[in-house]
Amino acid sequence: MAKVIILGSSYSIPDENHENTHLVLIGKERTVLIDCVSNPILRLRQAKVDFNQLTDLILTHFHPDHVSGVPLLLMDMWLMGRTEPLEIYGLHHTLDRIEDLMGFYDWEHWPNFFPVVFHRLPATPLTEVIDTTELRVVASPVKHLIPTIGVRIEFPQSQKVLAYSCDTEPCSEVVELASGADVLIHEATGASLGHSSAAQAGEVARQAEVGSLYLIHYPTGNSKPDGLVGEAQATFKGPVSLAVDFLELDFG
């Protein structure tokens, strides 16, 4: 059994129904949080995921709407008596800043802190992040305002594949990550520097020949995201949906 739960689908400004974009990947042995915003304990509880089962955290880039929950995650795990290690993956740019951030909280003086293992990833395409019998994650640098990775997640048991663009302009790295994937989750903030429109997300889905496309990281609040699906359908003929908070995708 492997599934992904969307914990947030909004761009940088969330609303009552859409938290900042982040997701959790749940397998039998590993539970992997991809980005960490707001108070992760609360969000995971709402999604009925046991907070203590988290084994890994992948941080895509050091923007507040993707990493601001890290200090609370680490502090609350510690206060709840965690002893198991937590593996954290990201580019040097991201993890250097996370360590600096935790340094401001003097975390080295928090007694009996559980082991946190930082895995600094090179900024090279298709870098291996996690490789187990139940899931394989690779990351590639994408085209955002600061160093950022997108990911491809393969589920060997069901042979299914999920790709997640993260924050990016349309780029060949995402097409490669998503090549032949069953599902592509692509951002749709709007056409601007470092971001993509829904139509551009559809174009990437078409080039990568994916099975279906979910749009994420889209404007919420007063803007109505309803038109985005039609915009993406103009460039991609497969199924297109809006990713919404607490949506579950089954990967067998």
Residues that bind Zn ion (CB under 5 A): 63, 167
Nearer to Zn ion, 161 or 188 (CB): 188
Q: Which is nearer to Zn ion, 65 or 182 (CB)?
A: 65
Taking residue 112's Cβ as centre, other Cβ atoms within 10 Å add up to: 8
Q: Tokens 């429109």 sit at which residue?
A: 197
Residues 6+ apart with CB under 8 A from 112: 78
Q: Which residue lies nearer to Zn ion by CB, 31 or 196?
A: 196
**Shortest distance (Å) from residue 63 CB to Zn ion:** 4
Instruction: Give the Cα separation of 160 and 128 in Å (integer).
Output: 17
* Residue 27 or 69 having the CB closest to Zn ion: 69
Closest distance of CB 71 from Zn ion, Å: 18
Both tokens of 144, joined, read 């955002």
CB of 130 to Zn ion, least distance (A): 22
E strand or H helix that includes residue 212 = strand 212-216
Q: Specify whether the CB–CB gap between 85 and 77 falls below 8 A.
A: no
